Chains A and B, each alone.
Chain A
Amino acid sequence: MKVLVAVKRVIDYNVKVRVKADNSDVDLTNIKMAMNPFCEIAVEEAVRLKEKGIASEIVVVSIGPKVAQEQIRTALALGADRGILVETDEQVQSLQAAKILKAIVDEEQPQLVILGKQSIDSDNNQTGQMLAALAGMGQGTFASEVVVEGDKVNVTREVDGGLMTVGLNLPAVVTTDLRLNEPRYASLPNIMKAKKKPLDTKSPADYGVELSASLTTLKVEEPAKRSAGIKVADVAELVDKLKNEAKVI
């Protein structure tokens, strides 16, 4: 079966972001960018399904600026077969991304669509669910285990309080949690091979999606700074401070 994986180019997760002086956004100039960690897990899961003989073809798609090609190439080096870049310099919100992905699903007819559960920049945790709704598919969100059996998939989900398993008819959408797998590294020969794999460039207009969004960011600010604390010498002083100064125990 065909698997579609969506990947996003985001700020590297180790980078401490800075807010722009005019409070319009965070400053991304000269910042290290990378594939969103949850998307790496999605690619890895697709590749494992292929290695098990369940997936026959992996198509990886990214929506973003021209440089998002790098993240598609990374996915190709990890084992995806071909890429689609939906190129735009606009900021794309979740609903618009879901609409573009829905159009690609209609065209490609994958049996399984795998996305990360959230991107570490906007922290929305929406796109997979929105895509599933638009495509009329079942969803296995926050997946820590994915088992494909015939025309069904069982997804074990990380929920508040523990784990929950749902059974979904295929085609379906799965979003990955951190514990689904440990992504592999791309080897140099695979990175070289990935350069020859096909990568189509499209635009949102090719899929008939308008990017005009209903949400406007009015301002972006630094979070309130915590005032500097103190170091205590020993446990006795700590307990004393908590009882008599902070009054929390």
Chain B
Amino acid sequence: MSILVIADHDNGSLKPVTLNVLAAATAIGGDIDVLVAGEGCGAAAEAASKAAGVAKVLVADNAAYGHQLAENLSLLVADLGKGYSHVLTSAGTTGKDFLPRVAALLDVAQISDIIKVESADTFVRPIYAGNAIATVQSSDAIKVITVRGTAFDPVAAEGGSAAVEAIDNVQDAGISTFVGQEMAESDRPELTAAEIVISGGRGMQNGDNFAMLEKVADKLGAAMGASRAAVDAGFVPNDMQVGQTGKIVAPNLYIAVGISGAIQHLAGMSGSKVIVAINKDEEAPIFQVADYGLVADLFDAVPELEAAL
């Protein structure tokens, strides 16, 4: 078995989720190579070479991969992937974007968002917004897989000493260009990797009231999330959305404030270790999954919580 893991990175640094994907690769077993494709991505490659269990790091450093456009990246990965039994990456927006293209180019199925490795050809993944769990077996020669990072404990970031090898494989499909980006600025921990997440929903009433949650988040060192209702109402930007169509989180502690607990929201956070719900409606579905529920007006309870911490 030989496994190719495509690293998540922003050129300058390796994203922590790569270590979770490496854990899934380790569970499959075999030699693990990591591909770092980007522009000026030497530092990310260096970091990947230190991760536990990595045999070799391949670096494709070229302007064609600078923004990881799916059209170019998928040609590179499909080309390299022919030599491997498994091709893995994280189920972030980059992985979801380019990997199905790789699968189609290799004429194999893709297995999305796995949460468990049963064996080298059998994997477990949630379907129907996490309301059912499917075990699927693949007969393809190359298994192309995206991994739900929160479902695997990360491998050690230090201690490895893999060889770093530059590869000169430039694939430019010439059909897409990067135009621009608008990234949300935040000093808080990244939502999908945070130990504690505090999320607000429609009950917050407006964007200004999220300042109350920020104060609690600061005291706990928590990341901030939101329900779709809060995003759609314009309270907070969309990248804060937790749920089936947003981010999947599984922190140690998830605090849901003014969130009713629709199926689609639960899909994104029901893997959390401890769930706290603060809601004034005691019939809200969120209380059916909450370990600790507080039936109270959030405008009283949240400042009290901040004061108590």
Contact = CB atoms under 8 A, between A and B. Distances in A.
Interface of A: 11, 13-14, 16-17, 19, 26, 93-95, 98, 117-118, 120-134, 136-139, 141-142, 144, 154, 157-169, 172, 177-179, 213-223, 226-232, 234-236, 238-239, 241-242, 246, 248-249
Nearest to B99: A129
B297 to A, nearest CB: 11
- Interface size bracket, B side: 35 or more
Given A120-B128, A229-B291, A246-B274, A129 B101 contact: yes
B163 interface: no
Interface of B: 67, 69-71, 74, 92-94, 96-105, 107-113, 122, 126-140, 173, 175-184, 192, 196, 220, 228, 231-232, 237-239, 244-245, 247, 252-253, 263-264, 270, 273-276, 282, 287-296, 301, 304-305, 308-309
Nearest to A131: B104
Nearest to A239: B308
Given A130-B103, A179-B238, A159 B232 contact: no
Nearest to A141: B97
A141 B275 CA distance: 32
**Which 4 pairs, one residue from A and one from B, show the smallest C-beta to C-beta distance?**
A129-B100, A130-B104, A133-B104, A162-B183
B134 A249 contact: no
Contacts of B138: 214-216
B130 A179 contact: no
B185 to A, nearest CB: 9
A248 B105 CA distance: 45
A69 B112 CA distance: 28
Given A161-B183, A218-B137, A242-B292, A166 B96 contact: no
B96 A217 contact: no
A80 to B, nearest CB: 24
Contacts of B292: 229-232, 238, 241-242, 246
Contact of B289 (A118, A215, A226): A226
B103 A177 contact: no
- Give the secondary structure class of B's interface: mixed
Contacts of B136: 215-218
- Give the secondary structure class of A's interface: mixed
Contacts, number: 256
A123 B177 contact: no
B131 A121 contact: no
Given A141-B70, A162-B184, A226-B289, A231 B177 contact: no
Nearest to A166: B176
B308 to A, nearest CB: 5
Given A94-B109, A125-B112, A238-B305, A217 B135 contact: yes
Contacts of B179: 154, 165-167
B96 A125 contact: yes
Contacts of B74: 133
Contact of A95 (B108, B130, B139, B305): B108
Most chain A CB inside 10 Å of its own CB: which residue of B107, B178, B179, B301: B179
B104 A123 contact: no
Given A216-B136, A223-B133, A231 B308 contact: no
A130 B103 CA distance: 7
B110 A94 contact: yes
Nearest to B8: A160
Contact of A124 (B67, B110, B183): B110
B103 to A, nearest CB: 7
Given A164-B67, A238-B305, A215 B294 contact: no
A229 B294 CA distance: 11
B134 A139 contact: no
Contacts of A167: 176-179
6 contacts: A26-B131, A161-B183, A169-B176, A220-B127, A235-B304, A238-B276
B13 to A, nearest CB: 13
B70 A139 contact: yes
B196 A249 contact: yes
Contact of A142 (B93, B111, B308): B93
Contacts of A126: 100, 103, 110, 112
A227 B276 CA distance: 13
Contacts of B192: 160
